[in-house]
Amino acid sequence: MRKSKKKKERRKGLMAKSLVIVESPAKARTINKFLGSNFEVKSCSGHVRDLPKSKFGVDVKNNFQPEYVTVPGRTKVIKEIKKKAKEADRILLAPDPDREGEAIAWHLAELLPKKGSIYRIVFHEITRGAIQEAVKNPGRIDLNKVNAQQARRILDRIVGYKLSPLLWRKVGRGLSAGRVQSVAVRLICEREIEIDAFVPEEYWSVTAKLRGKKTDGKQFEAKLEKIDSRKAKITSEEQAKKIVDELRKEDFFVKDIKTKDQKRYPSPPFTTSYLQQEASRKLHFSASKTMRIAQQLYEGLEVGEEGSIGLITYMRTDSIRIASEAQGEASTYIKEKFGANFAPPTPPRYKSKKGAQEAHESVRPTSIYREPERVKAFLTPEQYRLYRLIWTRFLSSQMKPAMLKITTADIEAGKFLLRAAGLEIKFKGFMAVYVESREETPEGENREEKESKDGKEKILPALEIGEKLTLLELLPEQHFTKPPPRFSEAILVKALEEEGIGRPSTYAPIIQVIQSRRYVEKLKGRFFSTELGRTVTDLLVAHFPKVLDVRFTANMEQGLDEVEEGRVDWVKLLRDFHEPFMLTLVKATREMKKVKRPERVTAEKCPQCGGVMVEKDGRYGRFLACRNFPKCKYTQPVTTGVQCPEAGCDGQIVERRSKKGRTFFSCNRYPDCKFSLWDKPVQKECPDCGAKFLVERRGRAGQVSYQCADKECGYKEKEDVKDE
């Protein structure tokens, strides 16, 4: 009787035949609208199992078998998903198409019943066509990807759990080391050493302002290039003045004019790295902010009559491949909006870097016809700006090259040769839409190269060979050679990618974690290594040279890629790392000397004696103390900058440490105010309920999220995975 009733219900479509499981509620809402009544879409809220936080959790002697436990807060979600799974004919696991997503799918499959009817579906954009196509072609979980994620997780656990306690004993509690983060800090510290050691050299340039007979009063500039046929090298003001005096006595003639046409090709569409770099330069977004907003654009937003739709493809990718359908749509759009002469006869081809996962696509809009201005009303200002950046970059990548006319005029004045450069845009091509921004100009780059890259027109007036010019002014200018620039987020992401440190999904969390642990500081958009960062880096480099070696770290990343490709056994990879690492650890434990953790001088004054306050590390966390100790014993906890939310309290939330060493946060007016919480408060208002701060929560897999402290509100901003 009951079986007969269930069959009738299924025939009527009242019971879901397929259960689709994704990570986030936003993704679930978007996908749900693309599937019929025979599908039910549920969110697992990210990782459901991970290594335990309270212990090492890896059985090294038993082939590094991990001890997985349920992620706190996921028990209810798992119970609900299990219940739904029992009611479904088949289960479609649909987490993100990367290692982390594959691992989430595998953990779910291990927990769920009906293992024979569990499938994996993969898509790179959340649109109706992509979802329906994925559902039509379900596959199986890629165990090589799972093994690669598992190996990376265990590698990070080994380094984090073994090195961090050593730092606690030798430097101070609360410190940490990570397989990838420590190498990133080393890059910043070494750049600081380069800058400190750099000795600037003085040099001078001489520029002449000139006018020709047929230039209609238009003047132009020519820069001194050669003296007696040799490259001009001016090292002092005295030398520059002497040259200026000699030039004033000379007549200036046009010796030669050269013109050449130059094609300038568009940049490829975004990878994760390129997106983070360009968003940093153009929008001044941090890497983590870029990824947070890109996640929202990918998972789906309500866009008018279309409803919830994913606006961009998957944002964690190192590939610049583009689907042929997207290229065809872009070509049609370009012809309609700009004219046929702006569309190349065949779609452009871009070559991904070696090792890129070509199964993925670049970051692009899911439809070029969803123009930024059309969807602007449905997006936040930040979502709009990032979407516009992605949209214009992709569109420009599908357009014809720009045609530039480069003109150089050599000006002769006695033994001196000066050069004037001009640039004219004959055909804008892709530059009608987008020009890539650039970091600081490298030393030695000439003006012609710079202006060509910037795409800024600078047209020289009409000149003739042999024409005599009128000298209007001579401008000597002092310069000094510059040290290598400090890392901005864009430069650091580029360096991490070029060195092979980390992967697209890890750049943002690496940058975030090295700041949160006070190894580096960002001032005016540039990273500075702190005294603490340099101290820890020096110790690790001295005692763990291999772990801190850039090439070794890059080779380890390559090894993880080979595990994913099925060419390397994950257990062997871990064993080859673990055995020499443990020998080094034993030696370092014995030989590393204790280092007094440096004090950080603050701008605050002691309210009791007027002395300078310094930030110190204590048993119960960081605190401020008067530098005149022991004469003055005034101290106060380090504030988070967040106001206590208790009604009528004017206190600040400060960081403290319990007797067992666990960090927590409480009001500095304790015991008058007993407000406290375990999660770190962040000075950012909740957009849903208006709470004055969010809290930072770290998942078992190292992922960080910012969410409302009020459980009834439930607001959450997803972040990325961090190493230990």
Q: Scanning the structure block, which residue is given the tokens 């069959």? A: 7
Handedness of CA 263, 328, 313, 554 (dihedral sign): negative
Entry field: residues in the chain: 724
Instruction: Please give the Cα distance from 128 to 145 (Å, whole number).
Output: 26
Tell me if 584 sits within 8 A of 546, measured CB to CB: yes
Dihedrals φ, ψ of 101, to 5°? -65, -40
Tell me if 520 sits within 8 A of 527, measured CB to CB: yes
The DSSP bridge partners found for residue 408 are 258, 421
H helices within 592-645, ranges in order? Answer: none
Cis peptide before 671 (omega within 30 of 0): yes
Rounded to whole angstroms, what are the CA distances from 665 to 260, 640, 644, 669? 66, 9, 10, 12
Of the candidates 699, 645, 532, 694, which has an alpha carbon nearest to the alpha carbon of residue 599?
A: 532
- With a CB cutoff of 8 Å and minimum separation 6, the contacts of 556 are 155, 179, 577
* Torsion of the alpha carbons at 141, 144, 146 and 151, rounded to the nearest 10: 170
DSSP-derived pairing of the beta strands 49-50 and 69-70: antiparallel
* Region of residue 273 (phi > 0: left; psi between -120 and 50: alpha; otherwise: beta): alpha
Handedness of CA 387, 392, 393, 398 (dihedral sign): positive
For 720, other C-beta atoms within 10 Å of its C-beta total 23
C-alpha 394 chain-centroid distance? 19
Of the residues 68, 119, 314, 507, only one is catalytic, namely 314
Residue 468 has which token pair? 């005599």
> Which DSSP symbol is given to 71?
P
Active site residue 314: yes
Q: Scanning the structure block, which residue is given the tokens 């987020």? A: 489
* Region of residue 311 (phi > 0: left; psi between -120 and 50: alpha; otherwise: beta): alpha
For 434, other C-beta atoms within 10 Å of its C-beta total 21
Instruction: Please give the Cα distance from 542 to 404 (Å, whole number).
Output: 52
Tell me if 290 sits within 8 A of 383, measured CB to CB: no
Residue 537 has which token pair? 């880096």
List the end-to-end C-alpha distance of the chain, in Å, as a whole number. 55
H helices within 455-530, ranges in order? Answer: 489-499, 507-516
C-alpha 719 chain-centroid distance? 11
Question: Which positions are annotated as active-site residues?
Answer: 314
